[in-house]
Each structure stands twice: as structure tokens, then as C-alpha cells.
Structure 1
């Protein structure tokens, strides 16, 4: 938005016999300045009346503090836009007037006279009504990294490739500042779509064997063996945001995701689908891609713990499923993921 702190400096001069030309220039300049001041006064008056109505609704319990702040913000921005549009037209008139003077169409300027018009931009700034960001903000989240299974409480000597087994996650989160006058603690919650991919080693793949799911060796070389599980999850975190508050106009000003952040929490949700993808060459040398959908005895419900540590939008992200991957296997195997997470405001 154009800076509304406008200074109209018009120098008007008199040289005896040229009074008529001087009066024309000075009169037009004063008229423009007067009209701008009138616009500002009227808009301030209207905004003040609108804000008083919102305050009455807040006092009557018809609005929450957050709703009242949001309303005031919208009203202030609308009035500021109205001022900007109206003043822009008068600015153009003044520009033409001064240009005419520069071009010599209007003569005689007295540098002893100055007309100044000041518009208080801060009066129309929503920062007058809310302390920085809204108390609740939203972020788009995207995460990716390595994925594997913890077997017998360890990931070492895994049956799955470490760098080729991946996870992906994307979703929407909301971030609410818990304390009104302190920026440290936030409650973060939302919904995510999570893809967990496992790539077995040594030409192996999963086979459903009654209530068990076994990892067996293929009779042919597998160019690709990938087992994918897709979940819809609800993540919940307590976030420590170390972004320092600012002091503006003797008021606290809060922002998020501008410094170091730490999140502690977990997630819960349900499985959408499971799919196994096998790629190999048949006896004739043809490329074959085989996709098989099924439940593979994977638990339909999933939950776990997660944490992230980072700076600004980027974090190191760790997740661990407390629910075993398979329902009835003799040995529990729990999914674990480590990667990067991006929270975009």
C-alpha cells in the first residue's frame, strides 16, 4: 500500500504586479491541501465510530477478543484503502499544478510560504488494534526423509534399504499462541497426508500368509520392490517458539517462525491404503510392473510420537509409530522416520 504519510510542500511567491497569477497558484494548492485534510478527518471519524460499535459488541459478549481484533483490522484496512484512493486523485492534481509551475505556465513563487499536509498512517494501521500476527496462524507443512522399521528395538541390520526407503508428508496446521502476552508456548494442530515407503533388500517382498505377513525372497531379480502405506493423520504438538517479541508504539508485537523452534507431541490417524509395487523382467525380457493393493494385515489405526527442532521454517523431524505396522506378526515392527520438515506461513 502506498505510504500515506504525505507531505505536500508548495512554495508560493508574490512579486507585486503578479498578484493574479500568485492567487491562482496558491489558491489551488491550498484547496488541494484542504480537501486532503477533510478526507482524512472524515475517514478517521467514520473509523472511530465503527470501532466503538465493535467494542460494544465485545463488551456484550457477542464477539470474542480475536473476532473483535479481526473486525477492527478489516475496518482499518478498508478506511486506509479509501483514503489512499481518494488522496491519489488529489496527488495527481497537485502534480499537474507543480509541473505547470516548473514548465513556466505559472510564474512567481514565494519561498517564504509553505503548505504542509500530514496524514497519520498509524491511525489506520491494524497494528494499532492487534499485537502483530493473529494469535492463531496457519501453515502449509511439507516433510520428507528416510523411513524404516524398528525390529527388536533396533534399526541396525534392517531388512529395508536405509536411503531408498522414504516418507512424505504434507498438510495444513494451525498454530495458536497459548499465552496472551508471551510468545514462547504455542499449540500446533492440523491434518496431514502421510506416505511411508519401505524397500526390502535382497530381492524380497511381502506376502500375506493368513494372519501373518512374511517377507520372502523372489525367484527372479527385482528391479524394484516397494511397500507403501498411506495414512491420514492428526498431528498435535506443543511448540516452543523462541522468536523474540518486539516493542512498537509501547505495545508488544508478536511474530512466529522467525527464530529457533522446538516441537514435542504426537499424531494419530487411520490407514487409507496399502500397496506393493514390484518391477522385474519376465522370461521374454519384457519389463513388468506389478501393483497389488490389499491390507497386508497392516493395522488400520496408527498413532505415535514426533518431535522437530529447527530454525524459522525448516526443521529436523523425527517420528516413531507406537502402533506396530502389522497386526499379528510374531515380532513387532514399528515405523520410524527421520527427515526435514518445512512449515510455510
Structure 2
């Protein structure tokens, strides 16, 4: 573009701005009387024809910068158009005529509203996703409650009528867990943390006593009190553990946020937002207490409780399976190592299963 064309464009821009400011400042009564505005730009003219007030309001919606950009492009291309002179004669000039279509303000408003709605929906979706899949690590407590038993060479001891056969009802397994829920990525989370658990092996025969002898731990039926009414006999072992379980969640959220000793607002983990989840991990523990207890009635209620290690393994380790849907979670634990020290008791692998809440 030549220097002269640039100068004309600059003057034209200024004139359009001044002209529009002048038009927008004209009262309605004046607009009804005036139907045209002519702005002289050097040897050129800018003509605004305004028939009524509605056209004036429509004119306010035009993008002047876009119009001037079109004018600049046409000047660069040295276009030729037609303009209508004041005397009504049409003359061909080496000039540019730009025709701007009427602005559809209603459609524009609708597009703006749709764009705004889309943004709001995306923001809400991002917010929902953030709540459904919380980043970082969250902490809560939960409780494992179920039953426990053990197996010997892949079989239950009751198949051979061993004295240490466990009664299913009453052999309660209890665990208090301090759980950290760490987001990994996608549907994957990691549940990890310490816990304290109790095995309660309630024997089928209420007269069974656990004896810690020089050659190891044995089980014998009480014969010293033949007339006594025996109520219960059990062996209890407590462990301090550390558990790590990778979780795969197929719902909008990972694990439910527990209501038991909860540190967070329960509404953040609505049951309706939780789907199916499953995970397999491991645990390791250290024995912190063990004792046997037998309860009987011999003219009065008696209870013998003996604290001893009973040649139990100090360490335990095993696999843990967790699965759940919405507000319900199930667990299954299996000890890979034996309950008693090798050669000091029967070869038993303990396991437990139940519900988590």
C-alpha cells in the first residue's frame, strides 16, 4: 500500500469513529427528521443513511474495526465499485464500496448464551469430576468385621475332627484400619495404611484347652472338671499390620468416604456417585498380644484366661482382596505363612472375610 493510501485509510478511520459518535449522540427526535449524514474525508465522502430510530439502534451493533479492515483490504486490491451521488446519478469511480449485511442481533445473543452455557456446563463437569475423583491423598478410618478360620494342607480341620476345629459362628475377626486413599491416575487408586486386627478362634469343642508345652503347642480336652458346664473356649491373637491395596474403580468415584470416625463431610462421597470397585494387595503384621480363654460353670461362672505366645509366629503376611459397590464393601484376607512356628504346632494358614464399614 502506498503512503497516500495509508494516509487516506487513517483519515477514513478517524472520520468513521467521529461520525458514529456523532450519530449515536443525536436525539431520537432529530433522527426522525434527518435521514442522512455525509462526512467529507479529503476528496472522499462517507455517507450514513438512517431511515428511522430502529436502524440507528441496529447500527450500534456493527463492528467498525471489521468494516475498516475490509476497506483496507479492498484499497490494497485497488477495487472498483459504485456509489450513489447526492443528485441521484450513479457513477463508476476508482473507489471502494463495502456492503455490510444487517446484523442479526437475536442470533448473536443466542450464540453468546449457548457459548456461556457450554462454558458453565464444562466448568460444572470439571467440578463434578474433581469431586468424583479427588486428587492427592485423603485419610479416613474404617472397620473390618467378619469371621475367621484356618486351613490345614488345603482342608478344614473339621474334616478330620481335630480338637482345634473352629466354630464358624462366634469366631469373629475385627480390624480397625487407618486408611489413606491416594489417587494414581485414571480409575486407579491406592489404599494403604496401618491397622490393628484380632483373630478370635472359637473352638467347636468348648472343653478344649490350649497347652504350651516343652515340645510345642497342643490342644487337649479338659478332664479335670467332668461335672462343669463349659461355655466357651477360644484362642485370640492380635497383630499390628500395614496394608497396601491398589484399587480399580469403575464408577465416578473410587472408594466410599467412611462415616465411621470420618474426617470429611460425608456429602462429598454420596452413595449414588460410587460404582463397582475391586483391588488385590498385600499386608504384613507383627503379633502384639495372644491369649487363650475358657469359660465354664462349676457352681458359679468361672473364666480362665492365660496370656502366652503359644509358639505363634511373631510375623504374618498375606494377600487381601477388596471389592465393593456403592456403600457396601467386602474383604478377604489369607495368611501366606503358618499361624504357628514350624514344628511347634499344627500347620495352619489363617484366613478371614467379612464386610467393611
**Within the alignment, does 1:209 sit opposite 2:225 as a pair?**
no
Q: Is the contact made by 2:217 and 2:345 (CA closer than 8 Å) also made in structure 1?
A: no
Q: Aligned partners of 1:209 and 1:156: how far apart in 2?
A: 21
Specify the alignment match of 2:352 in structure 1.
337
Q: Could you give the per-residue CA deviations for residues 136-193 of structure 1, whole angstroms, max 9, x where no partner exists?
A: 12231211111111112122626110122110011211111111xx2x1111100111
Give the counterpart of 2:287 among 243, 248, 271.
271
Give the counterpart of 2:301 among 264, 287, 301.
287
Q: Aligned partners of 2:178 and 2:193: how far apart in 1?
A: 6
User: Shift in Å at residue 330 of structure 1?
Assistant: 5.6
Q: Aligned partners of 2:354 and 2:269: how far apart in 1?
A: 26
Specify the alignment match of 1:153 in structure 2.
154
Give the counterpart of 2:200 among 197, 200, 205.
197
Q: Is the contact made by 2:144 and 2:177 (CA closer than 8 Å) also made in structure 1?
A: no
Q: Is the contact made by 1:152 and 1:331 (CA closer than 8 Å) also made in structure 2?
A: no
Q: Could you give the per-residue CA deviations for residues 83-126 of structure 1, whole angstroms, max 9, x where no partner exists?
A: xxxxxxxxxxxxxxxxxxxxxxxxxxxxxxxxxxxxxx99xx9x
Q: Aligned partners of 1:277 and 1:304: how far apart in 2?
A: 27
Q: Aligned partners of 1:300 and 1:266: how far apart in 2?
A: 17
Specify the alignment match of 1:168 in structure 2.
174
**Within the alignment, does 1:223 sit opposite 2:231 as a pair?**
yes
Q: Could you give the per-residue CA deviations for residues 277-322 of structure 1, whole angstroms, max 9, x where no partner exists?
A: 111123xx12111111111111111111110221134222111111
Q: Is the contact made by 2:149 and 2:351 (CA closer than 8 Å) also made in structure 1?
A: yes
- Tell which structure's C-alpha radius of gyration is larger: 2
Structure 1 segments unaligned to the other structure (5+ residues): 1-120, 246-253
Q: Aligned partners of 1:218 and 1:156: how far apart in 2?
A: 20
User: Shift in Å at residue 255 of structure 1?
Assistant: 7.1
Specify the alignment match of 1:43 in structure 2.
none
The alignment of Structure 1 onto Structure 2 pairs a total of residues equal to 207
**Within the alignment, does 1:185 sit opposite 2:188 as a pair?**
yes
Give the SS at the match of 2:339: coil
Q: Aligned partners of 1:275 and 1:134: how far apart in 2?
A: 43
Comparing both chains, which one has the higher relative contact order based on Cα–Cα distances under 8 Å and sequence gaps of 6 or more?
A: 1
Q: Is the contact made by 1:237 and 1:264 (CA closer than 8 Å) also made in structure 2?
A: yes
Q: Aligned partners of 2:249 and 2:304: how far apart in 1?
A: 47
Q: TM-score scaled by structure 2?
A: 0.53
**Within the alignment, does 1:131 sit opposite 2:130 as a pair?**
yes
User: Shift in Å at residue 241 of structure 1?
Assistant: 1.2
**Within the alignment, does 1:298 sit opposite 2:312 as a pair?**
yes
- Superposition CA RMSD, Å: 2.8
Give the SS at the match of 1:208: strand
Assess, with a 3 A threshold, how the Cα gap between structure 1 residues 341 and 194 changes in structure 2: closer, same or farther: same
